[in-house]
């Protein structure tokens, strides 16, 4: 039986413990309510010619958010015990609540739009594979959180670019605005924790983690290739998406102090191979 996280001896500086507590407080102060803070009276307003591809993309995004919710519940205790700080559990519990809220609000939107259940078996399988690859095997905490830095940037860019579409559904735009508030906080956490985890990895661990990341990006890229026709149909530019994602990841890796280990250019080469 595992010890309670509260019984874990503190292994980090007071500064880092303070950062985890501050992120927890931010989540408490800025939590939005999916029923009260979204203007559901707007109702879905999707152009008829873009309805099917738009709802298919939202189904994919919903599937990824639900996978993220499932994965964080599996990994919370493992991350807390590895980093030996009960304050980390405070923050991860808050992020788990964020993921639950995202899954709930997207499910409610799809239900209102009559667009639930539009994922193919292959798409569902790819999403499940992404979650499995990100949270199992060796160095699983490092692998999960490194994968999360990619997925948070991927999700945030999809939300931002979708909100800028000229005929964007106002209800979806309102929902995406609220989800983006949470994504920023999630990235701030990763900038705090990843330098510690990667800094403690052996050379073998770094090689394993890097190879694992490339495999994960390959699976994501296969999914992007399937979603490309839907993205084009609603007006998203895939080349612009890849360019911006690469630039964002490059900046994120530098800001997190891990750019000597992770290179966005390698992620981009994998994406270009499949898309």
Domain with residue 81: its CATH number is 1.10.620.20
Q: What is the pLDDT of residue 229?
A: 95
- Would 38 be classed as within a structural domain? no
pLDDT of residue 180: 95
Range of the domain at 269: 17-24+46-274
- pLDDT in the model for residue 122: 84
Structure tokens at 74: 């599996």
> 5 in a domain, yes or no?
no
In a domain, 268, yes or no: yes
The confidence score (pLDDT) of residue 212 equals 93
Is residue 85 in some structural domain? yes
Q: What is the mean pLDDT of each run of 10 residues along the chain (275 residues)?
A: 34 65 85 96 96 97 94 92 86 94 98 94 87 89 94 95 96 97 91 90 92 91 92 96 96 87 92 91
Position 174 scores a pLDDT of 97
Per-residue pLDDT, 14: 64
Kindly state whether residue 197 falls inside one of the protein's structural domains.
yes
Cα dist. 118→51, 57, 126 in Å? 12, 9, 14
Q: Is residue 155 part of a domain?
A: yes
**DSSP string of the chain, one letter each residue:** -PPPGGGSPP-S-HHHHHHHHHHHHHHHHHPPPTTTSS-GGG-----GGGHHHHHHHHHHHHHHHHHHHHHHHHHHHHHHHHHT-HHHHHHHHHHHHHHHHHHHHHHHHHHHHT--S---HHHHHHHHHHHHHHHSSTTHHHHHHHHHHHHHHHHHHHHHHHHTSTT--HHHHHHHHHHHHHHHHHHHHHHHHHHHHHHT--HHHHHHHHHHHHHHHHHHHHHHHHHHHHHHHHT--HHHHHHHHHHHHHHHHHHTT-TTT--HHHHHHHHHHH-
* Domain count across the chain: 1
pLDDT of the residue at 22: 87
User: What pLDDT was estimated at residue 2?
Assistant: 33
Residue 223 lies in a domain: yes
Residue at 2 is within a domain:
no
pTM for the whole structure = 0.90
């Amino acid at each position: 039986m595992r010890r309670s996280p509260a019984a874990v001896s503190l292994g980090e500086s007071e500064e880092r413990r303070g950062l985890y507590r501050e992120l927890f407080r931010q989540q408490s102060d800025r939590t939005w309510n999916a029923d009260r803070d979204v203007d559901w009276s707007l109702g879905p307003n999707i152009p008829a010619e873009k309805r099917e591809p738009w709802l298919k993309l939202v189904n994919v995004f919903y599937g990824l958010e639900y996978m993220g919710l499932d994965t964080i519940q599996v990994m919370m205790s493992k991350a807390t015990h590895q980093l030996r700080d009960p304050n980390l559990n405070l923050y991860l519990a808050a992020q788990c609540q964020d993921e639950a809220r995202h899954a709930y609000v997207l499910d409610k939107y799809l239900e209102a739009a009559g667009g639930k259940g539009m994922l193919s078996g292959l798409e569902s399988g790819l999403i499940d594979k992404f979650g499995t690859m990100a949270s199992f095997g060796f160095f699983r905490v490092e692998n999960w959180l490194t994968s999360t830095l990619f997925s948070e940037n991927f999700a945030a860019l999809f939300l931002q670019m979708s909100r800028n579409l000229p005929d964007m559904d106002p209800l979806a735009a309102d929902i995406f605005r609220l989800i983006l508030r949470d994504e920023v906080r999630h990235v701030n956490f990763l900038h705090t924790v990843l330098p510690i985890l990667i800094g403690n990895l052996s050379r073998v661990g770094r090689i394993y983690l890097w190879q694992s990341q490339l495999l994960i990006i390959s699976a994501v890229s296969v999914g992007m290739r399937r979603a490309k026709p839907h993205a084009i149909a609603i007006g998203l530019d895939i080349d612009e998406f890849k360019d911006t994602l690469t630039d964002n990841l490059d900046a994120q890796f530098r800001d997190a102090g891990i750019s000597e280990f992770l290179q966005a250019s390698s992620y981009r080469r994998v994406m270009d191979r499949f898309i």
